[in-house]
Amino acid sequence: MEETPIQSFDTWNTWAQYIAYGLTGLAVLILIGHILKLSATSDSKNKYDYINRSEINILMTCSILVIIAGGLYANSFIAELGMLWLFVRIFVTVSMGLIIGVIVQNLLKFYYPFYIEKRLKKLRYKPRISPKTGKPMKLLSEEEEDVYLDEGMQAEEEIYSIDYDVWVDEETGYTKIEKYAGHLHALQCPECNYQTFRVAREEILKSPSSTEEGELMKHFECGYCGYKAKKNYKIAMLNDTKQSEETATA
């Protein structure tokens, strides 16, 4: 079989290594930037939002860059190679890259959320420091916080679309209200046990009034195994400030 001349691969080998080093360096810089951003963010809520919004996407981007870099570097030492084996090598490299990419994606999608949820929970309930006194503030209970929420905020909490945390400096009366998505994070699926059980849609079965409670149905679906379930929730009466009670249905 006629081989491609050695000279035709010299430029490729050189540039493949340069690009591999560049992509790896870019991935490292992105990761370092992420770590520095976390270190520089002192406010727990801002750090919570940043981790929740960006961390998995950043890790996936870095992984893709490293996988591409690895594929280029692994093919930067070609001496003599026929056209047939060149195509075979390209096919194997792309296939391995896709396999590794799928593995990394699954790790970030199905396993990493367990770890990230623990960090987010710790950040959410970390005592806030009052800018007035420099002392830790008190996190109010669901019953206590309603005094500080307007009717719209209470309505959002009643249908579980938004959850508010109210921190109060009891010495000065300074108040800080933090907003969280009520069903943003996936739950652990009762079927496959992965952290991929999310609210697919919500349906108000009965609107609340000043004399009667309302009823909300949430439809859950697992993003991994496809398991589905429904749960009914009571919505408090319009003038009732007590926390809505949850009733599960099979």
The secondary structure element, H or E, covering residue 49 is: helix 44-74
Phi-psi region of 134 (alpha: psi -120 to 50; beta: other; left: phi over 0): left
CA distance 13 to 77: 6
Contact in structure between 224 and 194 (CB atoms under 8 Å)? yes
pLDDT tens for the chain, residues 1 to 250: 444 444 467 888 899 999 999 999 999 999 999 999 999 999 999 999 999 889 999 999 999 999 999 999 999 888 776 778 778 888 999 999 999 999 999 999 888 888 888 899 899 999 999 999 999 999 998 778 888 888 778 777 776 667 889 999 988 989 999 988 765 556 778 888 776 777 777 778 887 777 887 788 888 888 778 899 988 877 767 654 444 433 333 3
Q: Which of 204, 216, 224 is nearest to 248 (CA)?
A: 216
Q: Is 197 exposed, middle or buried (0-12, 13-18, 19+ CB in 10 A)?
A: buried
Residues 66, 70, 72, 76, CA torsion sign? positive
